[in-house]
Homo-oligomer: A and B are copies of this chain.
Amino acid sequence: MPGSNITLKQLSSILGVSISTISKALNDSHEISDVTKKRIVEMAKLHNYQPNKIAVGLKSGKTNTIAVVIPSVQNSFFARALYGIESLISETNFNIIVCLTKESHAKEVETFNMLSNGVVDGFIVAVSEETQNLQSYDHFTNVMENGKSVVMFDRVIDSVNCGKVTTNDFTALSEATQTLIGSERKHIVLLSTIHKLNVGKQRTQGYIKAMNTAGFPTVILESDAEHAGAVMADYLSSNPVDGIIGLDTDASLSALKAVRLSGRQIPKDVAVIGYVSERMAHNLTPELTTINQHSYTIGNAAARMIVESIRSKSKEMQQVVVSSTLSVRGSS
């Protein structure tokens, strides 16, 4: 079908029937007789008629589009969560617009303002680091006041009253720490490059709790991603260490490398547990024991929640927790 897409108006002049009748027929209205319905549907198919979504959106006030606002897609957690979101959404009549904030508050605010009027029906968001630090949440409440649904996942703000999907970070870390303690480790170090994020704080608390319960001193090393390896190496050079927990991918990989360079054996001398993707865990030497966040499931749950929220227009906000699990491999 060359040329631009055919419209109801054009169809109307072809068929000699009014636009309203055509619209109703194509939407299978009971008002229209089966005979004309059939005629219209056939002609529409012949001309490959596709309703203009923009026009439908303007009329209905719904766009069937959801914004996914996340810090990055390089991070395997977000990549896989996005996959989970997309998988669920693609089974509905919604589309997703993806916006990457790169941890910038300004970018996040701009995105919300840009999309809130007419472009999307709701937002799935993992809050940027900068927004968490600035504690500036007006862009969330503004769009909610304008009737848009909001669901946060992983990076969540307690004080904003929206849908939430999280993981049990506190418990996951406390259990992982207990596992190390159970295998006779005493000098367990925590390495983190995400101490500024709420998730990082939660995880750290879980570690502290388990260590306190066991009566062991806590050692918490915090650094940016670039220097994590050096920080770890430095500590290793003059302290006893028989266990390390990496709180995020950068910390985990840095820890492995630092131990390797120090000449110690994993897991004989030092056991390591970390956060990396399944695929990477399998390809490290030795394979890394990981805390698995089930990112796909988290994304899926967030998508399901926002679709339900938009469809039901209900104001009550759900909260879902997807538990992390420990996948024990060669490093512990």
Contact = CB atoms under 8 A, between A and B. Distances in A.
Nearest to A56: B118
A189 B263 CA distance: 33
A95 B73 contact: no
A113 to B, nearest CB: 7
A253 B83 contact: no
A90 B114 CA distance: 11
A51 to B, nearest CB: 7
A52 B118 contact: yes
A70 to B, nearest CB: 11
A218 interface: no
Given A73-B73, A145-B1, A284-B283, A90 B107 contact: yes
Contacts of A142: 1
B80 A118 contact: no
A4 B14 CA distance: 40
A115 interface: yes
Nearest to A57: B54
A5 B95 CA distance: 22
Contacts of A115: 95
Contacts of A68: 98
A135 interface: no
A260 B58 CA distance: 60
Question: In the complex, which range does the number of interface residues on chain A fall in?
Answer: 35 or more
Contacts of A145: 1-3
B83 A72 contact: yes
Contacts of A99: 86, 90, 95-96
Interface string A47-67: 000111111011000010100
Nearest to A286: B285
A54 B95 contact: no
A83 B100 contact: yes
Contacts of A260: 285
A93 to B, nearest CB: 9
B100 A97 contact: no
A256 interface: yes
A315 to B, nearest CB: 14
B107 A54 contact: no
A265 B191 CA distance: 32
A95 B82 contact: no
By CB atoms of chain B within 10 A, which of A1, A82, A113, A283 has the most? A283
A295 to B, nearest CB: 10
- For the complex of A and B, list the 6 residue pairs with the smallest distance between their C-beta atoms, beginning with the closest: A54-B118, A52-B118, A50-B117, A98-B98, A285-B285, A53-B118
22 contacts: A2-B145, A3-B146, A4-B147, A52-B58, A52-B118, A53-B117, A54-B57, A54-B58, A54-B118, A54-B119, A73-B79, A74-B76, A74-B79, A82-B98, A83-B100, A86-B99, A95-B97, A95-B114, A95-B115, A96-B98, A96-B99, A97-B98
